[in-house]
Structure 1
Amino acid sequence: MAKKKDTKIKITQTKSAIGYNVKQKRTLEALGLKKLNHSVVHNSTPQIEGMVTKVKHLVSVEDAN
């Protein structure tokens, strides 16, 4: 069986989490984002996409392939 190619996305924190909900701060930590303009690359899974949706006002997302 052929393995499906994983799609990678690059997530960059573009706005500070100061003044936002604790859940949103924890979501940024779970994504691996620590500072402004810090970027991480993740596989595009439903779980990651859900987390990005919750903090979409704090991050930017682009294709990493």
Structure 2
Amino acid sequence: MALKITQIKGTVGTKPKHRDNLRSLGLKRIRHTVIRPDTPEVRGMILAVRHLIVVEEVAGE
């Protein structure tokens, strides 16, 4: 199982830790989409920035 993560809001005015989480997920700009494996580490980063992203489950990796 993999997760499709799309950034929907910008990082201006957000905490540095949130910006770091987005960068660690591989997101660089609004409407940028990445595919990441469904691991506890990735889920934790998603939880921290859930107000800035949209997450969908995809079948493959």
Quickly name the TM-score band, shorter chain normalised: over 0.9
Question: Between Structure 1 and Structure 2, how many residues are aligned?
Answer: 59
Instruction: Note the C-alpha offset of 1:64.
Output: 1.6
TM-score under structure 2 length normalisation: 0.94
Is the counterpart of residue 39 in structure 1 residue 33 in structure 2?
Answer: yes
Aligned with 1:14 (options 3, 8, 20): 8
Is the counterpart of residue 54 in structure 1 residue 42 in structure 2?
Answer: no
Q: Distance in 2 between matches of 1:51 and 1:18?
A: 18
Instruction: Note the C-alpha offset of 1:47.
Output: 0.2
Q: Distance in 1 between matches of 2:43 and 2:16?
A: 19
Deviations 1:1-49 (A, max 9, x none): xxxxxx1010000000110000000100000000100000011000000
Gapped runs of 5+ residues in structure 1? 1-6
Gapped runs of 5+ residues in structure 2? none
Kindly report structure 1 stretches of 4+ aligned residues shifted beyond 2 Å.
none
Higher-Rg member (1/2) = 1
Letter in 1 for 2:58: A
